[in-house]
A and B are shown apart, each in its own frame.
Chain A
Amino acid sequence: MSAHNRGTELDLSWISKIQVNHPAVLRRAEQIQARRTVKKEWQAAWLLKAVTFIDLTTLSGDDTSSNIQRLCYKAKYPIREDLLKALNMYDKGITTAAVCVYPARVCDTVKALKAAGCNIPVASVATGFPAGQTHLKTRLEEIRLAVEDGATEIDVVINRSLVLTGQWEALYDEIRQFRKACGEAHLKTILATGELGSLTNVYKASMIAMMAGSDFIKTSTGKETVNATFPVAIVMLRAIRDFFWKTGNKIGFKPAGGIRSAKDSLAWLSLVKEELGDEWLKPELFRIGASTLLSDIERQIYHHVTGRYAAYHDLPMS
């Protein structure tokens, strides 16, 4: 993992002049999905690459140690062995980028990954996920406990009310405190863009989160009605680029929620490639938060290798 984003002083002039034109961004989002078509073995390579970006996630009320264990095994062996062998990629150590769980399941996850013999990072959501509507004190405590349990990445949700009421200083301060509470762990800030009201707010919240020291900015919790969408992603990626131009710090990007098909994942990769460039296409700077995406990718790779589509029972479940 790269070094932390130290953040910068709050500079409201970075967000005061910003203009985001909604329909123009929508048009760009529409175009980007049609402009880069990859097929055949190049598609397979892109899909394998996409696997390495996945934060394999389970965030359900009924998570227990047994399904966490299964998930961790899947994270270590995301694609069936014979398929990887056919692609000559067996020895390349393809795993997902991280496993993402609720704070209470961090211990189980760390244990299961240890048992599987790998050092995939464990990410934990925190700070009153998914609504963020708890006291600041408990939210900070949640982060500390998750870090203590062994989470090396913390996905925090921001307080949307601060964005909607334009309290940027307060938002900055809160994320600053999250950053501090994380210690050595990486801070991924979930903006919950489906609840921010406008793309301009998305840009501003992204910029504040980066100034306050987030290592990643993440689109959504996966629990809102609108989750990761391309227009929102375009605005966030542009904010990341602006922040990079201003400070030289590369901040990561994580879309999450609603990314289910292999085709979607390809579009996300090409979106990041187009807006930020190849240097962002590595797990340190790009993640996809998903749970069912992996099985679809596996199916597509199965099809690429065998020429047939797999039934769901042909592939190991996660």
Chain B
Amino acid sequence: AGTTGARHHARLLLLIPFPNCLYLPQAWLDTQDRCLGHYVNGKWLKPEHRNSVPCQDPITGENLASCLQAQAEDVAAAVEAARTAFKSWSAHPGVVRAQHLVRLAKVIQKHQRLLWTLESLVTGRAVREVRDGDVQLAQQLLHYHAIQASTQEEALAGWEPMGVIGLILPPTFSFLEMMWRICPALAVGCTVVALVPPASPTPLLLAQLSGELGPFPGILNVISGPASLVPVLASQPGIQKVAFCGALEEGRALRRTLAGECAELGLALGTESLLLLTDTADVDSAVEGVVDAAWSDRGPGGLRLLIQESVWDEAMRRLQERMGRLRSGRGLDGAVDMGARGAAACDLVQRFVREAQSQGAQVFQAGDVPSEHPFYPPTLVSNLPPASPCARAEVPWPVVVASPFRTAKEALALANGTPRGGSASVWSERLGQALELGYGLQVGTVWINAHGLRDPSVPTGGCKESGCSWHGGPDGLYEYLRPSGTPARLSCLSKNLNYDTFGLAVPSTLPAGPEIGPSPAPPYGLFVGGRFQAPGARSSRPIQDSSGNLHGYVAEGGAKDIRGAVEAAHQAFPGWAGQSPGARAALLWALAAALERRKSTLASRLERQGVELKAAEAEVELSARRLRAWGARAQAQGHTLQVKDLWARGRAGQVGWGGAQTRGCEMSQAWGPAATPGRGLHFNMRFAWDIQTLSWAKPYFFLSFLETESRSVAQAGVQWRDLGSLQAPPPRFMPFSCPRLPTNFLFFLFFFIFSRDGISPC
């Protein structure tokens, strides 16, 4: 038995590439005569006299089609189409939008082969991941958001769609990134103009599929063009929000460009992920987690891997063994683990690995990988000195940088000691340890004993430098909603303000006459860290009442004062977060009561600023109501735990809860309901908690914002009058709207009242 032919053996031991049929994508490109324009208002737009960029197969370099580059007027046409479409789309009841989304899901289902072959062909990603992952999830996303849309009138009463959303996608992305953003936007009634980099046909195909559905052609418009069009798109009248995902530097540049412009900005930056492997983990499964994260074309970027010292050798051995079995090749080959992502990605990783080696790292590469240029083998980097530049830099695909840790505390210090905070997974079979690490990680999404699971109903996002926007779940919807009646956003750039020196130059204010303000005058100074203090510049600014009379002098703050205030907030954070949800709720309610006691004083003060008495009273009342609502939320979230199919047929269970407030609560308490399924809760849990909450509850986000984008501080100062839009907050309200919320004002107000009442903050 078993004496089989040599040829037979030879064949068995090799996995032979089996290219999926190229016919479909080619045929689709042929329908466009191999020349892709833009898809606007349900029609292909192919303006003349435009530059074109070739769309190439990232592996062979073969020219697939040429793509026209948009110019400003094309962008304007797309935005105009979206504005027109917005009027009817947002006016329809949610049920109609839901039906449309479901129809789009069905169209995607019908043309999924075209979609996945095209996507795999142009991005070079493994077709298996696109076919079994992305395309399926895209349909789930549409269905999920269709359901959300159908209940919008009840569930999201008091909220309205923002308007036209500008979506900006980076050169390398999966079309799923687009789906995560357009689904909620379309569901709530917004319309979308997507600016995709040239040579990315999948979004165009999606727009075509959507446009051909009939009654609402203009809801999704896709134009392809260079990054220089971003400011053009963002400054188009009617664009209410710009959603961006991509590289950190581009995001920063975008933030700089958009500071003070009317469009709101949602950022999702960076691609790196983190995996924490403890000594109580199922190491083999954790190794699979590493493969999922970095070497399976699922995650977009590289991975930082932290391994507990006691299992370091074992984990590294298994990892290296597993790497040997990975297979790389043309994305359309049905038997590869990873494809190639083009020359740029390859150059980037080559540079990174070379530098890491020169900085003393050990590099291990393995796998069945073609030796031609755009392919790069799975790479494991270890022994990288912690202080070396490579250890600080973002890890590119497909590299895993492994480093050891000794204790859970050290693991958290290492994991949090990076400016990035995208996603992470914790591998441990001990529930307590897993939760401790999960709570301690400063990242947007944490998976436990799994990596890279996505579900439409669980919000994911990032924190720190990884951005501030959320998608999926209810949070994803609020990204594209605003309280009903909010006036449209206007540009608030002040022409006569020098932003380069704002807050830095010493102001020169002369006495402007006698004050007619109330007596006794409010204490002069800035309220920081629980007490009044003189501003750094030691000077004042006169403020006038509505009739132009000098009302009084307030302290003239500067950049240094802001820094001091942020630092104080930073220091206060652990204490505040450590409070039980009940205590925090009580404090907020006490604050609301204090506010109400001073209703008449506050209202009259607002009145002197030119607000009508009724409006002023309403504003104070709304403030108090909002405080109460948040207080209730703080308390409620202490006990809310969303448990999603914990043991369901091979799928990982997910636990999601929102609100940073829960972080402060007793873990056992939060875990109560989930702990009931039985002892030994060693299954995957995915938490997605979001960091978005009132800025004063999580001051460090404000801080990171300041650090990354000092220009917007000015914006924060200028925009505080948004207070008029106070409403009962949604669960987990708007991420990063903090700079726009009346931060400084609230700080002042809260602590002012606290101190008067003798309540010590924190």
Give A residues with C-beta under 8 Å from B.
Answer: 19-30, 34-42, 45-46, 48-49, 52, 88-89, 92-98, 119-121, 238, 241, 245, 274, 277-278, 281-284
Contact = CB atoms under 8 A, between A and B. Distances in A.
A19 B281 contact: yes
Contacts of A21: 281-282, 285, 427, 429, 449, 682-684
Contacts of A30: 650
A95 B651 CA distance: 39
A48 B4 contact: yes
A52 B4 contact: yes
Interface stretch (B8-16, B231-239, B372-380, B415-423): B8-16
A283 B2 contact: yes
A119 B1 CA distance: 8
Contacts of B286: 24
Interface residues of B, number: 43
Given A19-B281, A282-B2, A38 B652 contact: no
B429 A93 contact: no
A123 to B, nearest CB: 12
A37 B684 CA distance: 28
A198 to B, nearest CB: 9
Interface of B: 1-5, 7-8, 11-16, 18, 128, 132, 280-286, 288-289, 317, 321, 325, 334-335, 337, 427, 429, 449-450, 647, 650-653, 682-684
Contact of A37 (B8, B13, B334): B334
A23 B653 contact: yes
Residue of A36, A46, A274 with highest tally of chain B CB at under 10 A: A36
A28 B12 contact: no
Contacts of B321: 241
Residue of B4, B16, B289 with highest tally of chain A CB at under 10 A: B4
A274 B289 CA distance: 16
A24 B449 contact: yes
Nearest to A95: B1
Given A19-B283, A284-B2, 8 more contacts: A21-B683, A23-B683, A24-B652, A37-B128, A39-B18, A49-B4, A52-B2, A238-B284
B314 to A, nearest CB: 10
Nearest to A242: B284
Residue of A24, A28, A34, A49 with highest tally of chain B CB at under 10 A: A24
Contact of A92 (B4, B280, B281, B335): B4
A287 to B, nearest CB: 11
A282 B4 CA distance: 10
B8 to A, nearest CB: 5
A36 B337 CA distance: 9
A35 B647 CA distance: 24
A25 B653 CA distance: 13
B5 A89 contact: yes
19 contacts: A22-B683, A23-B449, A23-B650, A23-B653, A24-B289, A27-B651, A27-B652, A28-B285, A28-B288, A36-B15, A39-B18, A48-B8, A89-B4, A89-B8, A92-B5, A97-B1, A97-B2, A241-B321, A282-B2
B2 A46 contact: no
A266 B8 CA distance: 15
Given A23-B652, A23-B653, A25-B285, A38 B15 contact: yes
Contacts of B683: 21-23
A34 B128 contact: yes
A74 to B, nearest CB: 14
A23 B450 contact: yes
A37 B4 contact: no
A29 B288 CA distance: 11
B644 to A, nearest CB: 12
A268 to B, nearest CB: 13
B75 to A, nearest CB: 41
Given A37-B334, A274-B325, A24 B8 contact: no
Given A21-B282, A24-B285, A27-B450, A120 B1 contact: yes
Contacts of A37: 18, 128, 334-335
B1 A96 contact: yes
Nearest to A119: B1
- Mostly helix, strand, loop or mixed at chain B's interface? loop
A23 B655 CA distance: 14
Given A21-B282, A21-B429, A24-B450, A35 B2 contact: no
Contacts, number: 120
Contact of A94 (B4, B282, B288, B647): B4
A92 B282 contact: no
Contact of A41 (B11, B132, B335): B11
A19 B8 contact: no
A119 B132 CA distance: 45
A24 B684 contact: yes
B654 to A, nearest CB: 11
Contacts of A282: 2
Nearest to A53: B2
A102 to B, nearest CB: 21
Nearest to B453: A27
A49 B8 contact: yes
A38 B8 contact: no
A38 B18 contact: yes
A39 B628 CA distance: 64
A255 to B, nearest CB: 18
Nearest to B6: A92
Contacts of B14: 42
A92 B8 CA distance: 9
A27 B1 contact: no
Nearest to B311: A17
A35 B281 CA distance: 25
A49 B8 CA distance: 8
B432 to A, nearest CB: 15
A282 B684 CA distance: 35
Contacts of B16: 38, 42
B142 to A, nearest CB: 23
Residue of B285, B289, B684 with highest tally of chain A CB at under 10 A: B285
Contacts of A25: 282, 285
B132 A34 contact: yes
Nearest to B685: A23
Residue of B8, B13, B14 with highest tally of chain A CB at under 10 A: B8
Contacts of A98: 1
Contacts of A120: 1
B8 A35 contact: no
A29 B429 CA distance: 19
B282 A20 contact: yes
A12 to B, nearest CB: 18
A19 B682 contact: yes
Contact of A29 (B7, B281, B650): B650
A24 B447 CA distance: 12
A130 to B, nearest CB: 26
Given A22-B682, A48-B8, A49-B8, A93 B3 contact: yes
Given A25-B285, A30-B650, A281-B12, A35 B335 contact: yes
B427 to A, nearest CB: 8
Nearest to A40: B18
A35 B336 CA distance: 7
B377 to A, nearest CB: 18
A25 B286 CA distance: 10
Contacts of A34: 128, 132
Residue of B3, B132, B281, B427 with highest tally of chain A CB at under 10 A: B3
Residue of A48, A98, A119 with highest tally of chain B CB at under 10 A: A48
A283 B15 CA distance: 20
B11 A42 contact: yes
A38 B335 CA distance: 7
Contacts of B3: 92-93
Nearest to A49: B12
Contacts of B317: 245
Contacts of B283: 19
A256 B600 CA distance: 82
A196 to B, nearest CB: 15
Contacts of A245: 317
A22 to B, nearest CB: 6
